[in-house]
């Protein structure tokens, strides 16, 4: 099965690769490797067959992978539709408990008005709370604390 983003850690840096070997290593087509060459992957020399240093290949793939990263700062949530980190609309987010250690922040993107989510740990939740207003869920009321009679009688 082909992975979308080839892992640069699979490359042996002291090895020389041909186009076919790179294609087989990452389960890609040979034309994909040739397109990488057109987009900046340097060969050892201009002779045929095209040979690539492992270190050059690993550096190229790592740069290709990190080029599109958009890390979120404290108080920002990544919007998939806008493809950028955003401060939630109104500086507010709702918090839902996933389990005892993980919480899910749910907010609205200020630009496209879609729902944005972020999973955080409790320690990070306190840091984010300094930047944006987080609404925590209320504890559920026990049945013996209720003034209304039960329906199941």
Q: Is residue 143 part of a domain?
A: no
The runs of H, that is alpha helices, within 5-142 are 19-26, 30-38, 54-66, 122-129
With 70 as the cut, is the pLDDT of residue 78 above it?
Answer: yes
Q: Is residue 144 part of a domain?
A: no
Task: Say whether both 23 and 60 belong to one domain.
Answer: yes
What does the pLDDT average to over 9-15?
94
Higher per-residue pLDDT: 132 or 68 = 132
Q: Is residue 27 part of a domain?
A: yes
What does the pLDDT average to over 120-148?
78
Q: Is residue 152 part of a domain?
A: no
What is the distance between the alpha carbons of residues 66 and 74, in angstroms, rounded to a whole number?
20
Question: Looking only at Cα atoms, what is the longest distance across the chain?
Answer: 88
Task: Say whether both 41 and 82 belong to one domain.
Answer: no
What is the distance between the alpha carbons of residues 61 and 59, in angstroms, rounded to a whole number?
6
Q: Is residue 141 part of a domain?
A: no
Give the C-alpha distances (Å, rounded to integers) separating 152 from 143, 146, 147, 148, 149: 12, 14, 15, 12, 9
Task: Say whether both 90 and 56 belong to one domain.
Answer: no
What does the pLDDT average to over 50-58?
96
Give the pLDDT of residue 1: 47
| 71 Cβ neighbours under 8 A, 6+ residues apart | 85
Q: Is residue 99 part of a domain?
A: yes
What does the pLDDT average to over 85-92?
92
Task: Say whether both 83 and 112 belong to one domain.
Answer: yes
Torsion sign (Cα): 112, 113, 118, 123: positive
What is the distance between the alpha carbons of residues 128 and 74, in angstroms, rounded to a whole number?
6
Q: Is residue 48 part of a domain?
A: yes
Q: Is residue 44 part of a domain?
A: yes
Closest C-alpha among 29, 28, 55, 32 to residue 42: 55
What does the pLDDT average to over 109-121?
93
With 50 as the cut, is the pLDDT of residue 66 above it?
Answer: yes
Q: How do beta strands 92-97 and 102-108 pair?
A: antiparallel
- Global confidence as pTM: 0.58
Q: Which domain holds residue 120?
A: 77-135
Average pLDDT for the chain: 88
Give the pLDDT of residue 74: 84
Q: How many domains does the chain have?
A: 2
Task: Say whether both 51 and 81 belong to one domain.
Answer: no
What does the pLDDT average to over 107-116?
94
Higher per-residue pLDDT: 149 or 138 = 138
- Where does a domain end: 66, 86, 113? 66
| CATH number of the CATH domain containing 55 | 1.10.10
What does the pLDDT average to over 10-37?
96
């Amino acid at each position: 099965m082909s992975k979308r983003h080839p892992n640069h850690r699979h490359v042996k840096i002291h090895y020389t690769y041909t186009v076919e070997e790179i294609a087989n290593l990452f389960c890609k087509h040979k034309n994909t490797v040739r397109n990488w060459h057109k987009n900046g992957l340097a060969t050892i020399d201009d002779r045929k067959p095209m040979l690539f240093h492992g270190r050059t290949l690993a550096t190229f793939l790592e740069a290709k992978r990190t080029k599109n990263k958009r890390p979120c700062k404290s108080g920002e949530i990544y919007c998939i539709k806008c493809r950028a980190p955003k401060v939630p609309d109104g500086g507010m987010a709702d918090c839902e408990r996933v389990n005892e250690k993980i919480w899910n922040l749910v907010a609205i993107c200020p630009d496209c008005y879609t729902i944005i989510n972020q999973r955080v740990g409790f320690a990070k939740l306190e840091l984010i709370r300094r930047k944006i207003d987080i609404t925590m869920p209320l504890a559920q009321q026990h049945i013996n604390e209720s003034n209304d009679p039960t329906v199941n009688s």
